[in-house]
């Protein structure tokens, strides 16, 4: 039985597919080397394989059409994604290297990052993401039309069926294959990727057309959610199971018996994971034995790039010792 990491990124504009995978791999290895160099070597040598799930081409196309600001940033094209517009990759490697120079990821280190860089929490992109979640939370029949036209890709995923289906398929294909093969799986999801993962897990564990996934009883050993918005009311209402009735009516809420351990990590000041804990929001999953455990952790995300601090960034989570320790503890 192979050990396999399946990693799905989050919202907003992205570099090309292969470059993004390389940066994610670098950040993860950096974190693993901090906590367990021997297990980092297993990942580096390919003894533990990684599937990088990419839907950046879908997000980039949506954002390029709907936002002039994003369109101006998407100056490259991705030959591995049908020449979709993408971000140039200048600066990412240097930003990950800068994470490597940090000795302790604590409050002091985080304050130093904020002092030396502009605070992204109050910039336009963060404001758009937060306002989209707020709009979904207060959605009525009249403003749903406006939400469907939201510039944020998260809004498009939650409110447009065609977009949601395309994005989910990117995760469904490798995850279905790994579960059926009997792989020992660590699923790592970030930001909007947590929403996608939740929806796919619900489909796999509940829908008749995925009975083949459930046949061998294989479950994901651990699911890591990083910078996760699944606690937000508007997000929960628009998940794939958002219209299912409550458990006391004996119906089909939440993914069932497809994940063993759910580890959620939220960074201080992360503008997407306002609700930092999943254990309380999804306590029915433990009550009904749908999952063995749900744990919540807080960290300081010290990522910065181009003079801008970003406590939500995936790379900052992956390089953090607490997140890396969750991965290392799973590696045999």
User: What is the domain count for the chain?
Assistant: 1
Give the residue-averaged pLDDT of 54-58. Answer: 97
Assess contact for 319 and 96: CB atoms under 8 A.
yes
Q: Report the DSSP beta bridge partners of residue 5.
A: 50, 186
Cα 158 to Cα 147: distance, rounded to the nearest angstrom:
9
pLDDT tens per residue across span 89-121: 999 999 999 999 999 999 999 999 999 998 765
Range in 72-76, 140-144, 155-159 the model is least confident about: 140-144
- Give the pLDDT score at 274: 80
DSSP assignments along 108-134, one per residue: HHHHHHHHHSEEGGGSHHHHHHHHHHH
Give the CA angle between residues 233, 57, 238 to the nearest 5°: 15
Assess contact for 279 and 268: CB atoms under 8 A.
no
pTM: 0.92
Cα 261 to Cα 117: distance, rounded to the nearest angstrom:
36
Q: How confident is the model at residue 145 (pLDDT cuts 50, 70, 90)?
A: very low
Share above pLDDT 90 across residues of the chain, in percent, rounded to a whole number: 73
Choose between 237 and 114: higher pLDDT.
Answer: 114
Question: Chain-wide mean pLDDT for the chain?
Answer: 89
Q: Is the pLDDT of residue 251 over 80?
A: no
> Can you give the residue range of the structural domain that contains 173?
3-330
Q: How confident is the model at residue 133 (pLDDT cuts 50, 70, 90)?
A: low
């Amino acid at each position: 039985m192979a050990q396999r990491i399946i990693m799905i990124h989050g919202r907003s504009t992205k570099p090309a597919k292969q470059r993004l995978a390389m940066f994610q791999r670098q950040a993860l290895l950096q974190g693993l080397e901090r906590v367990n160099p021997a297990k980092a070597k297993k990942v580096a040598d390919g003894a533990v394989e990684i599937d990088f799930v990419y839907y950046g081409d879908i997000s980039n196309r949506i954002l390029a059409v709907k936002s002039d600001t994003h369109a101006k940033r998407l100056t490259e094209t991705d030959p591995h994604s049908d020449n979709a517009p993408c971000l140039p990759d200048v600066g990412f490697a240097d930003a990950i290297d800068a994470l490597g120079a940090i000795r302790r990821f604590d409050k002091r280190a985080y304050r130093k990052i904020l002092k030396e860089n502009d605070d992204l929490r109050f910039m336009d992109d963060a404001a758009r993401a937060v306002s989209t979640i707020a709009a979904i939370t207060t959605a009525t029949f009249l403003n749903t039309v406006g939400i469907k036209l939201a510039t944020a890709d998260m809004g498009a995923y939650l409110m447009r069926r065609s977009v949601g289906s395309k994005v989910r398929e990117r995760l469904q294909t490798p995850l279905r294959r790994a579960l059926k093969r009997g792989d020992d799986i660590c699923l790592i999801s970030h930001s909007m990727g947590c929403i996608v993962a939740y929806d796919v897990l619900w489909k796999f564990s509940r829908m008749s057309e995925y009975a083949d996934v459930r046949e061998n009883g294989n479950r994901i050993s651990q699911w890591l959610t990083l910078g996760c918005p699944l606690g937000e009311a508007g997000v929960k209402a628009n998940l794939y199971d958002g219209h299912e009735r409550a458990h006391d009516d004996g119906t089909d809420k939440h993914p069932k018996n497809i994940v063993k351990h759910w580890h959620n990590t939220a960074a201080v000041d992360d503008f997407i994971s306002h609700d930092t804990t999943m254990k309380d929001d999804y306590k029915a999953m433990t009550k009904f034995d749908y999952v063995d455990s749900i744990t919540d952790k807080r960290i300081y995300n010290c990522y910065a790039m181009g003079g801008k601090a970003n406590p939500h960034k995936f790379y900052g989570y992956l390089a953090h010792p607490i997140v890396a320790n969750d991965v290392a503890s799973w590696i045999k």
